[in-house]
Every structure is written in structure tokens, then in C-alpha cells.
Amino acid sequence: MCEFSDCFHKNKAFQDFRGGVVHSALLAEVRARFPYALMEGRCPKCGRPLQDWERRPAGRATRSMCREDYERLIAGRIDNNCFVCGEQLENYKILAQYQNPREVEHHIHEGECKTVWTVLHNVALGEPDMVRAFGRQMSPQPRGALEQGFGDGDFIDAEFTQMPALDWTQPAPKALPAPGQRIPQFVQRTPKGKRIRVFR
């Protein structure tokens, strides 16, 4: 599976946005297709907050969409159009969907579309460097607008407010286990030999 949060994809996205590779017409289409784009910890399609176990399932690739949108838009169908821009996909991408329809990379054009999806994916995951560069917290109105000026820091509409950057030098808090995983329980013996649970 393609991991959009790896260093290679993130570095390429930074280079493409700084170099002006991504065009404003594509950004307008992305704004229409993903109304909740660039919001940390939220599905870019529906805006539902994602739990940490949803974004980073144990032993699997990271996920930036809620399960319902992923099943409806990616895994549940073979599509001739790009998931990001809506344009016709290359034939090899369509054929690859028949082999593995659950792979997001098979539903996206190489180049600009993959770069834009890398940014949306990493901001939704809450990657600190991408959130600092591209993400914003939203105001009570749940719509944001992407503008032309990617890379210069002013590409988000005024409906968003600037929030302080995440302190990525501190260790992240421990996450709760995913549903279905057992929580370790500590047992201690008392002087009379009875076992009692101890919560730490």
C-alpha cells in the first residue's frame, strides 16, 4: 500500500508547492470535492473528527478518511475518474483498480493530484510539519477555501483563524487502544493472598 505520510511523499509535496507545480484550477476543484480539506484530524470529505486509532491503525497504512467515505469513494468501486480532480485516469491506473481497488494510489493521477492528496492526507493525520505549513483550525463555519498562493502561507480563506503550532519536540500522549484490543490489567496480591486489580 502507498504510505502518503512517508518522508519521500511529504518532501516532494513541499517541493512541488514551493516550486509552483500545482495550478489554481486544480485547487478550485479540490475545494469543491473536499469541503473540509486541511483540517487537522478530520475527514477531508465529510469533516467528521477521526480518532487516533482510525488514522493510525496498528500494522496498517495511515488513513485520512472516515471509513464510510473510504468505502463509498475508494474501496467500493472501480472508477475511471481521478478521486482528487475528477478527470479521466490513465488506463494502467484503471486496470490496477481491478487488481487492488482498496489502494488509494490507483484512484489518483500521478503528479499534481498525488501531491495535493499527500498534503490533504498528512494534515488530516495531524503530521506536525504539514499542519504547520498547510493546516488551519476552522472557525464555527465549517467551510474553508483554498486559494492560489500555496507555499507562501496565505492560501487559506479568512474563515480560518491562525492557531499556535503544535509542540512537536514534546512526546505525543499515549493513545487509547483500538477497539477490540485488550487493555492490560495489573493484578496485585494483598497480604492475605487475595488478588485485586490495580489501575495505573
What are the structural domain ranges in the chain? Answer: 7-161
User: Nearest CA to 30 among 94, 97, 89, 87?
Assistant: 87
Q: What is residue 92's predicted lDDT score, i.e. its pLDDT?
A: 92
pLDDT in tens, 85-95: 888 999 999 99
Q: What is residue 89's predicted lDDT score, i.e. its pLDDT?
A: 92
Q: What is residue 90's predicted lDDT score, i.e. its pLDDT?
A: 92
Q: What is residue 88's predicted lDDT score, i.e. its pLDDT?
A: 92
Which residues, including other chains, have CB under 8 Å from residue 169's CB and lie 6 or more apart? none
Helix, strand, coil share (%) of the chain residues, nearest 5:
35, 10, 55
Q: Distance between CA 122 and CA 120 in Å, rounded?
A: 6
Query: In 10 A of CB 80, how many CB atoms?
Result: 11
Low-confidence ranges of the chain (pLDDT < 70): 1-2, 136-178, 181-191, 193-200
Q: What is residue 163's predicted lDDT score, i.e. its pLDDT?
A: 60
Q: What is residue 148's predicted lDDT score, i.e. its pLDDT?
A: 44
**Whole-structure pTM value:** 0.63
Q: What is residue 171's predicted lDDT score, i.e. its pLDDT?
A: 57
Q: What is residue 125's predicted lDDT score, i.e. its pLDDT?
A: 87
- What stretch of H or E contains 187? strand 186-189
